[in-house]
Every structure is written in structure tokens, then in C-alpha cells.
């Protein structure tokens, strides 16, 4: 990518030519469209593959199934984090120590508290 | 530390989501491959409802989120008017 952009930018030294680099958005759009096309192919039988009716019945609610799976995963993650929520004792002690040090330092420099 | 109530709530959330995932997977993916006169079909609603019920749930959820957001924004806007 870098090589091609430097090659193409030789035409106009002032303005760098737009190199073909896939942004994250493009990547996601590409992936989603590929998956969506595959889903549409199977569930609406666009190519007349004469798939069994059962396959189409399974494939048709797949987007919703993925959504429900994602919801379940999110719920489970939240629940697990709630169950294993912990205190950060070490960090708390460290912070208290630093506050003490800072107060000492400021007092040395003549700040009244 | 997480108290006993926290742990109970969290673990029940995990168990609930796992149960929901398993039930929905069986309903959507496995059930079409089972004969329609099999006894397993007794425990599930007709297939249309596997789309309708999550749809209703999604609509209710979105309505709740919208109402929550509206209430929060409405509450936050009030003090600015007083100033």
C-alpha cells in the first residue's frame, strides 16, 4: 500500500494521490455485504440451487438469531462482571501514599493546608 | 468486593442468558430438522413466534431506552432555564 501510494504520488508532488487503503468502515461494509449476499442467496434461493426447504427455514431468521446471540452474550458479560466485581486495594493504597507524598512536598514548599 | 447479592444477581444473569441462548438455538436451528410430529415440538411455540417475540421485545426495549433518554434530557434541561 505504502509503495503504491509513493509510486502514484510521483504525478503530483504537492497533493498526494489517494492510495487505495481500506478504511475500517469499508472493511465492515464489505464483510456485511458479503454475509448479507450469502444469506439472501440461501434464504431466498436466488440461484435456484434447489436447496431443501429446511435449510431455507433455518437460514431465514439468521440475522435475528445473531442479534439474539449478541444480546445473550452481552447480558452474560454484564452478569459475570457484576458477580466478580472487585476492589483495587493495592491501587487505593498507592494513591493514598502518593497523596501523602504530595502533601508533604507542598508543605515543604510553604503551602499552608 | 462484590457482595453476596451482587454475586447472586450476576450469576442469575449469566444463567438466564445461557438458558435463553440454548432455548432459542434449539428453537431456531435444531427444530426444523426434527419431524413435525416429534414430541420435542410440544415444548415450543410455532415458528412464526421465534421472529415475532424478539421483535416485540426489541420494540419494547427501544421504547424504554427512548423514554429513559427523554426523561434524562428533560431533567437536565430544567436547571438551565432557571439560570
Query: Is A4 among the domain residues?
Result: yes
pLDDT, one tens digit per residue, over A59-97 is 888 888 999 999 999 999 999 999 988 888 999 999 999
With 50 as the cut, is the pLDDT of residue A103 above it?
A: yes
Question: Residue A32: which of A2, A63, A5 has the closest Cα?
Answer: A63
Where in the sequence is the domain holding A71, given as residue range(s)? 61-113
> Mean pLDDT over all residues of chain A?
82
More confident position, B81 or A80:
A80
Query: Does some domain include residue B81?
Result: no
Mark whether A67 and A111 lie in a shared domain: yes
Q: Do A83 and B16 count as a contact with CB atoms less than 8 A apart? A: no
d(CA B61, CA B17): 16
Q: Using CA atoms, how far apart are residues A80 and A78, in angstroms rounded to an integer?
A: 6
Structure ipTM over 0.90, yes or no: no
The residue range of the domain holding B47 is 4-76
Would you say residue A56 lies in a domain?
no
Q: Which three cell numbers stand for residue B62?
A: 427501544
Query: Which residue's C-alpha cell is 509513493?
Result: A6
Domain boundary among the residues A51, A70, A93 is at A51
Q: Which chain A residues contact residue B7 at CB under 8 A?
A: 83
Residue B83 lies in a domain: no
Q: Tell me, what's the pLDDT at A1? A: 42
A61 → chain B, closest CA residue: B51
CA gap A20, A5 in Å, rounded: 8
User: What's the average model confidence in pLDDT over A17-24?
Assistant: 73
Is the pLDDT confidence value at A6 over 60?
A: no
Interface of A with B (CB under 8 A): 54, 57-58, 61, 64-65, 67-69, 71-73, 75-76, 78-87
pLDDT digits (tens, 9 = 90+) for B23-53: 999 888 888 888 878 888 888 888 888 889 9
| A5 pLDDT above the threshold of 80 | no
Phi, psi angles (nearest 5°) of residue A53:
-60, -30
Handedness of CA B19, B22, B28, B30 (dihedral sign): negative
Instruction: Indicate whether A107 belongs to any domain.
Output: yes
Question: Is residue A13 situated within a structural domain?
Answer: yes
Our count of domains for chain A comes to 2
User: Residue A82: what are its φ and ψ, rounded to 5°?
Assistant: -65, -40
Amino acid at each position: 500500500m505504502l509503495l503504491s501510494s509513493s509510486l502514484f504520488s510521483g504525478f503530483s508532488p504537492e497533493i498526494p494521490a489517494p492510495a487505495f487503503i481500506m478504511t475500517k468502515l469499508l472493511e465492515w461494509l464489505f464483510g456485511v455485504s458479503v454475509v448479507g449476499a450469502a444469506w439472501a442467496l440461501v434464504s431466498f434461493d436466488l440461484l435456484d440451487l434447489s436447496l431443501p426447504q429446511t435449510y431455507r427455514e433455518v437460514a431465514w431468521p439468521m440475522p435475528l438469531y445473531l442479534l439474539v446471540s449478541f444480546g445473550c452474550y452481552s447480558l452474560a458479560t454484564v452478569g459475570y462482571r457484576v458477580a466478580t466485581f472487585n476492589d483495587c486495594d493495592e491501587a487505593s493504597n498507592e494513591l493514598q501514599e502518593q497523596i501523602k507524598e504530595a502533601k508533604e512536598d507542598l508543605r515543604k514548599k510553604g503551602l499552608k493546608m | 468486593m462484590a457482595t453476596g447479592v451482587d454475586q447472586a444477581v450476576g450469576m442469575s444473569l449469566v444463567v438466564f442468558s445461557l438458558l435463553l441462548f440454548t432455548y432459542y438455538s434449539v428453537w431456531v436451528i435444531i427444530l426444523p430438522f426434527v419431524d413435525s410430529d416429534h414430541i420435542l415440538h410440544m415444548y415450543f411455540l410455532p415458528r412464526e413466534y421465534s421472529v415475532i417475540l424478539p421483535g416485540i421485545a426489541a420494540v419494547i426495549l427501544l421504547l424504554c431506552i427512548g423514554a429513559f433518554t427523554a426523561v434524562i434530557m428533560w431533567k437536565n434541561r430544567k436547571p438551565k432555564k432557571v439560570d
